[in-house]
Structure 1
Amino acid sequence: MPDFAPADDPDFDALRRHLRRLRENRGWTYDELAAHSGVGRATLVSLELGKPRTRGDREQAATTGTLATWWRIASALQIDLGDLLRPLYGTEDQH
């Protein structure tokens, strides 16, 4: 039987920094990325900042997003989904 090592945990902090850099490089606000992607502003803020969202009097945990959400963001930014998600695996572009 092959000996497989468990994968490292994905680096969501690197992904958040990458998303912010891509959005800011385009000069887009959260509202503009929301309009281009169809992803809600509150979801984008939660994805990028990694902070819980508040709904009324209750707090929801920060989201890591769904595949469909990340696909919509990648499409709006006109980049491949793999390029958007690459920082999850420790290959964050430092440019």
Structure 2
Amino acid sequence: MDKRSLDTLGRHLQALRQARGWSLSQLAAQAGIAKSNLSRLEQGDGNPTLDTLWRLAMRLEVPFGTLVAPITAVLGEEGVTVQLIDQGRDNPPVDAYWMRCEAHTHRRAEAHSPGTREFLNVVSGKLMAGPVEAMQPLAAGERLDFPADRAHAYRTEAEAATFLMTIVYTGSDTA
């Protein structure tokens, strides 16, 4: 992520934390990250992983898209890139992302808030996706709808996959 995006993310993260009246120590402990790492993120330094950003969004009780909305950078690590396309303002909250998994990638995602659903529409390539215990094969033109309030994953084999991921927060307004 470029310096401008990191600065923007850091200011936004700090504002969300302070709006809740939480200290750095409180949020860091709840998100399972070091206080020094959270401090660096808020100062626009560091290189946050997708998992770190998801955990922060969950602990701040905001959709992932709300946390990253102020930045336009593509987020990525270890063969996975994610970019927020848009965030709905209705109820239930809806986030839309472009996601790409390079060949031979396995990405495990933490459970979202109760009632959350994911909808995947594959644009190119092939992947396995869904709840960890019930992953399904998908190819270009296919779609999958699954409960995202439990651990889920995305896995590619010999080819990359690009897909539209829509997250609907039906149980609450959190990630």
- The TM-score bracket by the shorter chain reads 0.5 to 0.7
Q: What displacement does 1:82 show?
A: 1.2
Q: What displacement does 1:11 show?
A: 2.0
* TM-score normalised over the length of structure 1: 0.68
Q: Distance in 1 between matches of 2:50 and 2:39?
A: 17
Question: Which residue of 23, 26, 44 maps to 2:17?
Answer: 23
Letter in 2 for 1:63: G
- Give the aligned length: 72
Q: Distance in 2 between matches of 1:79 and 1:11?
A: 19
Larger RCO of the pair (alpha carbons < 8 Å, separation 6+): 1
State, as a whole percentage, how many aligned pairs show the same letter: 40
> What's the RMSD between the two structures over aligned residues?
2.1
- Higher strand proportion (structure 1 or 2): 2
Which residues of 2 match residues 9-48 of structure 1 at below 5 A? Answer: 11-48=5-42
Structure 1 segments of 4+ aligned residues over 3 angstroms from their partners: none
- Give the structure with higher Rg (CA): 2
Given that 1:10 and 1:89 are in contact with CA atoms closer than 8 Å, whether structure 2 keeps it comes out as: no
- Equivalent in the alignment of 1:70: 53
Q: Distance in 2 between matches of 1:13 and 1:28?
A: 20
Q: What displacement does 1:10 show?
A: 6.3
Q: Distance in 2 between matches of 1:18 and 1:79?
A: 12
Question: Which residue of 68, 81, 104 maps to 1:85?
Answer: 68
* TM-score normalised over the length of structure 2: 0.38
Q: Secondary structure at the match of 2:70?
A: helix
Q: Distance in 1 between matches of 2:3 and 2:21?
A: 31
- Superimposed CA distance per residue, residues 48-87 of structure 1 (whole angstroms, 9 cap, x where no aligned partner): 012xxxxxxxxxxx31200000001001001111110111
Letter in 2 for 1:28: W
